[in-house]
Amino acid sequence: MKQAFKVGLWLIVTVMFVGIPATPLYAEDGLQTLRQTSKAFTSVAQKAIPAVVSVYVERTVEVRNPYGYGSPFEDEFFQRFFGPRFQRPSEKQVQRGQGSGFIISPDGYILTNNHVAGQSDKIMVMLNDGREFEAKLIGADPKSDVALIKVDAESLPVIELGDSDTLEIGEWVIAVGNPFRLAQTVTVGVVSAKGRAVGILEDAEGYEDFIQTDAAINPGNSGGPLLNLDGKAVGMNTAIYSQSGGYMGIGFAIPINMAKFIKEQLVDSGKVERGYLGVGPNRFGLTPELAREFGLENNHGALIASVLPGSPAEKAGLRPEDVVLEFDGKEVRDWNSFRNAVGMTRPGTTVNLLVWRDGKKMTVKVKIGALEDAPQVAVTETRLGIQVQELDERMAREFGYKPGSGVLVAEVEANSSASEAGIQPGMLILSVNRKPVSTVKEFNDAISKASDKVLLRIQTEYYTQYVLLPMK
């Protein structure tokens, strides 16, 4: 009996002295991992902060209303007595703004956003060490929201540019910037998604391929770097999704590879040249139903719905119903990624497209054209509810019009003022408010100068008429 007691006691003691220390040991391992992660964040921050700058801008704008809020009532008062065309005299006012940027070369080149510095009359840059410089705008690109500025300095700290193509969802990232004028703010999060197109740059017909992150980004962070754990910039913080104006867990950054493409051209020439192919997308993309109809395993790819006559695509032999699966060896996820790939290719470059056609894969070699040489087509005037495009020689022959005599109506929105007035696709708009228009740009310029109504001179196959449309 005594012997049995001794055995039992030994077992209990063994558990007490062998089992219990295991829990603190595991906890210590976890703490050690967290300490190493924390040191990684600290190391990146210490390295990056000296190269992150505050960007202060000024721009002069004309305003018709120097009295601030409430003055629309005054305008209504004056219009009631002086007529609807009355406009108060404009005054010039100076607007001031603030954002972030990061130094990418020791001699003072700085990346920031176009919406921070692109339209500015004066740009001031403050470094982390307190020095201030007036910066020169080297160039800006509204279509990507990238701007390049430069200060006259030497031996500046820099942030190395990484490779955004290698980023993975769930990877740690660090945002550095100056939100709400709180300089050198560091926040940490992960890559939440890639390849986001959210319509931020719609007005500029922009190229969107945003990195989505939950690293806190707020007003003032725009233009600051998004860094990986190696301290390299993998993105440029640009926008947030917010219903309050502040951080709600969703921020967007321009991939650094896109920013590098823009930066290199701005340094070389001060402007950006983009690639052009001359194909049109299917309105609703490559749906799962269409993918099955074409015999594809999934709906990854870009479905070509139209090929413009004389375009690089036509010369290469691309056809409607072709589905582009790869662009020069890289997977094409959807139309947006395909458009971005084309746009980020220098004109004159020859690339290979992996295409799905008639149930088989094939390679099509195509020489990319220049976007600036492409005809302007399919531009929508939402206030009238119509979509117009330029009249090339082929369409002129098809519709029986004289080339260059106007812009062709491509689409008309249902229940729009244009639809109610009887305007239909295929009609030719000869003039806007008695001013002849022969290009999409001339049409848009004329519409932008209109106030409450617009007078269109329209030609059909059988007659010419004037139509007066109200503006929305």
Please list the active-site residues. Answer: 115, 145, 222
425 neighbors 411 (Cβ within 8 angstroms): yes
DSSP 284: T
State how far the Cα of 278 lies from the Cα of 378, in Å rounded to an integer.
12
Size of the chain in residues = 472
- Cα dist. 212→98, 194, 449 in Å? 23, 6, 38
Can you list the positions of beta strands (E) in 299-374? Answer: 302-307, 323-327, 330-331, 350-357, 360-367, 369-370
| C-alpha to C-alpha distance for 268 and 278, rounded to whole angstroms | 26
Q: Which residues of 193-219 are buried (b: 16+ CB within 10 A; e: fewer)?
A: ebebbeebbeeeebbbbbbbbbbbbbb
Tally of CA atoms within 13 A in the half-sphere of 393 that contains its CB: 2
Q: Measured between alpha carbons, how far is 227 from 73 in angstroms, rounded to an integer? A: 49
Distance (Å) of CA 270 to CA 105, 107, 137, 251, 373: 17, 17, 9, 29, 18
The radius of gyration computed from the CA coordinates of the chain, to the nearest angstrom, equals 29
Rounding to the nearest 10 degrees, give the CA dihedral for residues 396, 400, 404, 409: -80
